[in-house]
Structure 1
């Protein structure tokens, strides 16, 4: 009996430690003409555990409709990683989009759960540099204006729902005399694993079809405020 109690206590202690650990995610994207590169790095335990997804190539398959993505998954200090190639047809993309919509429909108060989770995310690095142009001054000026609007709209969203703990660096370089399309995006965020676990638990709790006792308005309001 004592052994069972010790195991249970140890389990909850380890669960508590994991929930208190911070997870850092670095998103890197670079586009230069026809070359695209994505890299997403996950770090925890003071950087001792690091997992990287490297996507060096995203292109349209000329032989058949679809998008070919080559990606490399690496767990540092364990293996060098393996290159994988995946092909996604338009039908598969639409199916995945439909599944995401169905998931959103099945979770009650999903927007509230996501907003609460986003509130625990801190942004510690945010850089977005762009060079764009068509070779025509008028159209280039219009595109640059749209680019600034897009960047500041994204910044406003992050500032509203997340904790912005750094000064963002934005830059758009217009190319009036030649066509150009280059961009570099770097964003670093971190949050405690426990907040992600709690968001997942709430999604399961509010999944449509689960039977929960109905609560009156006063109880529901208090629960929302304590959330």
Structure 2
């Protein structure tokens, strides 16, 4: 009996440790001229599970072909699952994704309400966003700088309304008075959510899907296509 009691206590401690852990997201975006780079790191269970996504290629070709995206995915669990994939995002694919998202809304009871509540438990620990811009003319550069400031302010305002900002964001817009137009920006963001709440949110989502007739079937069909 005492051995069984020790096993139960150990299992309870492990469950508590999992629930108290956090899922940490580290996003880094850099754009300088034609060079683009996007890196996303996800850490779970105190770093025991790590996911790494990298977009070394993010290139706009033309209106017909859209954007060429190359994604490199790495896991520390099974190295054989490391993969590199290229895809194109054009208008037809965007319309297709929008159609699938609408189907998910229809297959879930109050999906947007669930999403807003889940986002409210996401904490932004760090957000640095710097931008250098030149329009090739001093007057136009000043106007462009004001527009960038306004855009950043609107985006941060929306973000602050939906998630928890633990620290004030560091925003910079530097006008470059040069004869040649140029644009560069760099974003560094660290966010996290409690693993316990993430599990709870997943269970709530499952209940909302079950409330809709055929919801599970629609979700399986859409996720399989994706």
TM-score class normalised by the smaller sequence: 0.7 to 0.9
Q: Partners in 1 of 2:169 and 2:31 — Cα distance? A: 20
User: TM-score, normalised on structure 1?
Assistant: 0.77
The 3 A distance-change label for structure 1 pair 134 and 79 is same
Q: Partners in 2 of 1:58 and 1:19 — Cα distance? A: 36
Q: Partners in 1 of 2:12 and 2:88 — Cα distance? A: 42
Match of 2:46 in 1: 46
Q: How far apart are 1:77 and its partner, in Å?
A: 7.9
The 3 A distance-change label for structure 1 pair 26 and 160 is same
SS of structure 2 residue aligned to 1:176: coil
Question: Is 2:108–2:212's contact at 8 Å kept on the other side of the alignment?
Answer: no
1:36-75 correspondence to structure 2 within 5 Å = 36-61=36-61, 65-75=65-75
Deviations 1:138-159 (A, max 9, x none): 2222221121112122222232
The 3 A distance-change label for structure 1 pair 12 and 100 is farther
Deviations 1:94-113 (A, max 9, x none): 10121112212333322321
Q: Partners in 1 of 2:213 and 2:13 — Cα distance? A: 29
Matched positions, count = 205
**Structure 1: 5+ residue stretches without partners:** 1-6, 212-227
Match of 1:194 in 2: 196
Q: How far apart are 1:183 and its partner, in Å?
A: 0.2
1:72-111 correspondence to structure 2 within 5 Å = 72-76=72-76, 79=79, 81-111=82-112
The 3 A distance-change label for structure 1 pair 65 and 45 is same
CA RMSD of aligned residues (A): 3.0
The 3 A distance-change label for structure 1 pair 206 and 76 is closer
**Structure 2: 5+ residue stretches without partners:** 1-6, 215-226
Match of 1:127 in 2: 128
Deviations 1:9-58 (A, max 9, x none): 99888666544321000111101111111111001232343211010111
Match of 2:177 in 1: 176
Q: How far apart are 1:60 and its partner, in Å?
A: 3.1
1:14-53 correspondence to structure 2 within 5 Å = 17-53=17-53
Deviating more after overlay: 181-190 vs 131-140? 131-140
Q: How far apart are 1:128 and its partner, in Å?
A: 0.2
